[in-house]
Amino acid sequence: MTYIHDTLEGLRHSSPAQSEFYQAAEEVLECLRPLLESDPQYHDHSIIERIVEPERQIMFRVCWTDDAGRVRVNKGYRIQFNSALGPYKGGLRFHASVNASIIKFLGFEQIFKNALTGLPIGGGKGGSNFDPKGKSDAEIMRFCQAYMSELYRHIGPTTDVPAGDIGVGAREIGYLYGQYKRLTGRYEGVLTGKRLNWGGSLGRKEATGYGAVYFAQNMLADRGEDLRGKTCLVSGAGNVAIYTIEKLYQLGALPVTCSDSRGTLHDPQGIDLETLKRLKEVERGPLTHYLTYRPDARYLSREDDPGEGHAVWRIPADVAFPCATQNELTVADAEALISNGVTCLSEGANMPTTAKAVDCFLDARIAYGPGKAANAGGVATSQLEMAQNSSMQQWTLEKVDNKLQAIMADIYRSCADTAAEFGAPHNLVLGANIAGFRKVADAMIEQGVC
């Protein structure tokens, strides 16, 4: 279909050198072929050309002072991609790898992820190439205050509600919120992921990891299986990975790995969750320190990674949860997972699997949950936090978790039913993209050209 080809070529011309964004756009548009061939209204209203262009791109300089008194400069971003369904919603990522391409791919994915939740939220994303690792609390505070001194002009509880992402946890959200309140004089739900005693929601910290596990649970249930007794691989060692591991234990599974930027931790007896939480949430230290507490575990450094992949994916298991970062799982990794017995994969990170690796999983007919569906629990619970803020309430953990389970079940059913509607019942990538797109596109048509 030349329509899709021309759109992608137009993006390469208008947004040069943005490979991650092209990858995300191509995945979505290729999945839309059967819908576009059967329903001409999306051509007539130029929905494709409109949906791949952000409504607003905000880029700015962030100047802050380090502990030595030296002025540092970083780049700040906020991409407000689509507001057809509600205020922009999506996290802030602070990491050295952040650039315009990564923020645009994340914002584009967020449109459809948010649509799948069934909640009234649009898609956006933001962040900076500032890296909190190795910085003091005072330096992080000064950076967050400088970042918010620009961002506050563009956000609000019914306009754009950022949350956390890689490098942005409750500490950073606190500093950002304090500066927003100082600048505006308003105490309102403009950020999610807040601490519990000033507007946060029970269950928000756990939601992305828990949601990825609930999604896997739904995929397996459709095949007459469950997670109990299954050996699981988890990548990452941040918030998503930690609470994926926690929920796996609660459901009777055995998570045996996690990873960080330096390498992979493998504990055949099962990752000691309390030790992992102490290392990452309290001490903020490297995974290598885990061996001090569990000497029978092993740590494989990046030098031990296979040439075209990562050691975390070369360990025999039943289910896999990529929870680290984009494109962390290669074709060679996918082939190794399949040959080692993995029959289910649920993505806790955003686009963690390369396009060719996704094709491997689909060809093998394993239960494969794409990130825009499987990790939507985080943004869904962020919207529940927004609802609590607007009504000046705080719900119980049980109420939040019950809503999260219902949302993840609904997302799975929507993806599975849509995939079946278009003749590919095993292909949840196609199902997720068409279901999310159709909801946003229909709203755009109904609201006119804007």
- Which residues belong to the active site? 125
Q: Using CA atoms, how far apart are residues 417 and 373, in angstroms rounded to an integer?
A: 13
Which neighbouring-strand residues pair with 266? 257, 298
The DSSP annotation for 30-42 comes to HHTHHHHHH-THH
**Torsion angle (degrees, nearest 10) of CA 337, 340, 342, 347:** -20
Strand stretches in 290-437, DSSP E: 298-301, 319-321, 344-346, 367-369
* Long-range CB contacts for residues 388-396, cutoff 8 Å, separation at least 24: 388/199, 388/201, 389/157, 389/188, 389/189, 389/199, 390/157, 390/189, 394/196, 394/201, 394/202, 395/201, 395/202, 396/202
Rounded to a whole number of angstroms, the CA Rg of the chain reads 21
Q: Using CA atoms, how far apart are residues 178 and 132, in angstroms rounded to an integer?
A: 18
Q: SS3 for 421?
A: helix
Amino acid at 160: D
Q: Using CA atoms, how far apart are residues 432 and 221, in angstroms rounded to an integer?
A: 18
Q: Using CA atoms, how far apart are residues 230 and 256, in angstroms rounded to an integer?
A: 10
Q: Using CA atoms, how far apart are residues 324 and 95, in angstroms rounded to an integer?
A: 13
How far from 328 is each of 126, 349, 353, 371, 380, CA to CA, in Å? 21, 9, 6, 13, 24
Token code pair at residue 9: 């070529």
Q: SS3 for 234?
A: strand
Asked whether 100 and 132 are in contact (CB, 8 A), the reply is: no
Amino acid at 144: C
Expressed in angstroms, the distance from the first to the final Cα of the chain is 26
